[in-house]
Structure 1
Amino acid sequence: MTMYGSGYSALSMSSVSRSAGYRRGTSVHGGAGGSNVRVSYASNGLGSGFDLASALGGGGGGGGDGSSFSISGSEKHTMQNLNDRLATYLEKVRMLEGANTTLERQIREWYDRQTPTVNDYSKYEAIIEDLRKKISVATQDNARLMLQIDNARLAAEDFRIKFENELAVRMSVEADIAGLRRVLDELTMSRSDLEMQVEGLKEELVYLKKNHEEEIAAMRSQVNSSSVNVEVDAKPQVDISATINEIRAQYESITEKNRREMEEWYKVKFDELNSQVASSTETLQVSRTEINDLKRTLQSLQIELQSQQSLKSALEGQLAETESNYNMKLSHLQIRVNTLEEELKNVRADIERQAYDYKVLFDIKTRLEMEIAEYRRLLDGEERILIEEIVDGKVVSRTEDVNTEVIE
């Protein structure tokens, strides 16, 4: 019978030496490395004594020191008792094997239950990819809108410069028109003065004509009243009327000439100014229309840019929230995986420990079955020695035939 404790094993076999009134029993105990070996001899006979080192009292193959005891009485009764105890021990071994099988099944079931299910995140990956594509498209649209805004800003700047230039031209034309109007006013005043002078000359001419007629009438009356013929050798009198008419004609021709020249010059200048004002007004109107269109375009682009920026901010926030949620889920899953790996490590350690215990129990069972077989051979009348030694940590068994020593 074998004992396991603290890395040592002990084997005790009862043997009976055939004699007339006295039988000697010996046993075999083996230690590590094959030292301290004791051999037990066995033979058939009626009265017998047994020296056993057994671990049957503890109900298992744990660790403990073996104890020797001696049983007197009938050899058959003793062997039957020993076989019963061995059968009980084997029953305990079978019970432990069943418990080990049940425990292994429970471990497998627990492992199957605790195996983390792999979640399918493909739909979320598709959503994330779609959001990334939307962000990319929004970024491209934003860049395109920024380019359009820059182009519109440059065009507006060009139109502003053109407007300022046209405004300067318009102001210059208006200044020229104001100057021409002043000249026209001066010419009008000069014309009025000339007309007043003409009227004055006309009145003076009428007055002179009236005086001349009165003088002629007076002279005629004097001539008619006197009969004296006086011949005067004098120069003929100047015809005042002809002179006045000539002067009047000269002034009228000069005035008419000046009037025609002034009207023609004024008409030419007025036409030029009108054409310039019309052209400037048309250009100014076109520029104002283009500026208004550009302002509306710029305003619509700014509104669209703000909406795109809002959409971009919302998408970036949604993406950040999604990534945060996924990172949190991944961290939880990683913690769960680490916990399960630790539990799996503990389960594997328990399985290895139980496998080691099972191996130890199986070795004990094997040796007990060998001892039972040996006891059966003893009961059948065989006489041999069973020696078990532990050599380099391994159990080595051998049997040898022995001679029976009879002591008188």
Structure 2
Amino acid sequence: LTKHKNKHTQVQSDQPGMGGHLALQSKGAYRTPTIHGGLEDCGVSMSSVCFVSSPSSEGYRRGYVGTLAGSDRLLVGNETVTMQNLKTLAPHTWIRYMPWRRPTGDLEVKIDWHQKQAPGAHDYSHYYQTIDDLRDKILGATTENSKIVLQINNRLAVDDFTKFEAEQALRMSMEADISGLCKELEELTTAGADLEMQTEGLKEKLAYLENHEEEISALKGQGDKVSVEVDSAPALTAKTPSDMRNLVMVEKNLRRTGRMMTWFTSQTEELNQRSLATQSNCRFSPLATLARQRSPTGLEIKLQSQLNMKATLEGTLAETQACFRAQLTGPGTISSIQAQLSDICAGTKHQNLELEQETATYHSLCQGQDAYHQPARHQDGL
């Protein structure tokens, strides 16, 4: 029996194309049929036979199980009969199984195809390198951008400093020019005053020369009218010393009159020359006076422009002073608070002094009362 049992533990179908989908084992385990076909096993226990197929073969599976359910009692103790019964049942089961084999095969093929064609996890590893490269490029671009921004800021700061230095130099030069123009303005005012004084002096001289010309014309008229007549007296004989003295005086007077005539003629010539020179100077003096009169007007125009510039500069100075005063309001408040604190400290010191004086007077009064009471006690003791 053992040999027969071991020999018939595995039963194969004699029908061609069955592919070994139905197999019995004495061990009680079974395997599902695969999609590859061939001779594979389907385990059936000793008490029942279980057929595994697709869900569409549910009716066949139920009929097959029902057929084998009645033969459960045949499997107990009589294995030869059981094997014969199975052999007789195998063709019937195969005939009933064949209509369901092709749909199950198609379904298995479709399942395999869908498993193969199912979407799997994509491999994005080749993108990681590009992402890292792009990140490196972005970091490099950001650093380069920050460097460029820093360079631009430095360049702007340098430009601002250069502009500040240029404006400061221009301001210093303008201040120097303004100070020089102020000095020139002062010099021009002094020169204008001097010119006014000179013009007044020249006017006085011109009036004096006009008067002098009138005097010269009067003297010329007098010189034309002067006639010197000398009567030749007969030769006198000095009879007496007094007569001789008179003759000598007459000769002296004649000589003196001759000298006076020569001096008068020389003086008249000099006066004529001076009058001609003054007349020539008076001809050119109006042009000079006009030029001198025009020069103060130009100087006044320059003075007005300088005064306007000074006013504008004073306005800018006032604005800057206002700004600085607004900035210095904080220290002003601090100084006022410090003054208040100093006043409070002085008040507290004064109060302390008053309290000290009061305490001193109180101590002195207390000492005086003690001194007054001590003699009284001494008298009481006596």
If the length of structure 1 is used for normalisation, what is the TM-score?
0.31
Greater fraction helix: 2
Greater fraction strand: 1
If the length of structure 2 is used for normalisation, what is the TM-score?
0.33
**Whose relative contact order is higher, 1 or 2, with alpha carbons under 8 Å and at least 6 apart?**
1
Query: Between Structure 1 and Structure 2, whose CA radius of gyration is higher?
Result: 2
